[in-house]
Amino acid sequence: MEESASDKSSTRIHHHSSPVLSLLLGLLAMAALGAGAYWFTHRAAEKVKTTHYDQARPIPSDAELKRTLKEEQYHVVRENGTEPAFQNLYFNNLRVGLYVDIISGQPLFTSLDKFDNQNGRPNFTKPIAPELIEESRDTSFGLERTEVHAAKSKAHLGHLFRDGPAPGGLRYTVNSAALRFIPLEKLEVEGYGDYLSLFPSASPSPAPSN
């Protein structure tokens, strides 16, 4: 049986339209995948921005801290140790941001209250809030000093002296090993976006070059 002219025409149209249809379907599929990826990325970013530091986060046991902290960090925070002057992480850190407790993550000091006392360790005029710090008497090495701890984790931080700059006259000399620094530009990502209000006129400072 011979194929009619109309049948041949229909067949040619079908053959020509199939690649076009496939191309359109492929483009639609790619567009759908792209939209899905954008939505997923956007939602993930929004979730990060709304993450907050967990005030109820439990304090790890000393055994766990011994496994997770560096030896010097554990020596400072749990054995009341003192790190070497001028050979620690933050004594000359000039970047803008928060200093948080290495154990609990609780924000303790800001870079706005940090100053150089020429003693090779981080020095602060005050904590973010007085209730974040506990004081105790320290008579070790035959000296009379005021020891300071993080109120939440009981981590040994350093000592408080009363020869600081005006107007408060206080000097919190803190071991870098007891702290973790979070730069201003990473506060939101790290869950500390609520603390951005502490830096109303500050702008991020460049990372130090190696």
- For the ranges 14-18, 96-100, 126-130, the lowest mean pLDDT is seen at 14-18
What is the pLDDT at residue 208? 63
112 and 85 both lie in a single domain: yes
Per-position DSSP letters for 68-100, written without gaps between them? HS-HHHHHHHHH---PPTTSSSSTT----EEEE
68 and 10 both lie in a single domain: no
User: In the predicted model, is pLDDT for residue 209 greater than 90?
Assistant: no
Give all strands (DSSP E) within the chain, no chain letters: 97-101, 107-110, 114-115, 123-124, 133-138, 145-150, 156-161, 171-174, 179-183
Which DSSP letter does residue 161 get? E
How confident is the model over 172-191, as pLDDT tens digits?
A: 999 999 999 999 999 999 99
What is the pLDDT at residue 39? 46
46 and 66 both lie in a single domain: no
81 and 150 both lie in a single domain: yes
Q: How many domains does the chain have?
A: 2
Query: What percent of the chain has a predicted confidence (pLDDT) above 90?
Result: 65
pTM for this one? 0.74
User: In the predicted model, is pLDDT for residue 161 greater than 60?
Assistant: yes
Residues of the domain holding 103: 62-198
User: In the predicted model, is pLDDT for residue 29 greater than 80?
Assistant: no
88 and 170 both lie in a single domain: yes
What is the pLDDT at residue 204? 66
131 and 173 both lie in a single domain: yes
Higher-confidence residue: 27 or 169?
A: 169
Kindly state whether residue 88 falls inside one of the protein's structural domains: yes
Work out the mean pLDDT of the chain and round it to a whole number. Answer: 85
Give helix then strand counts, H and E, for the chain: 3, 9
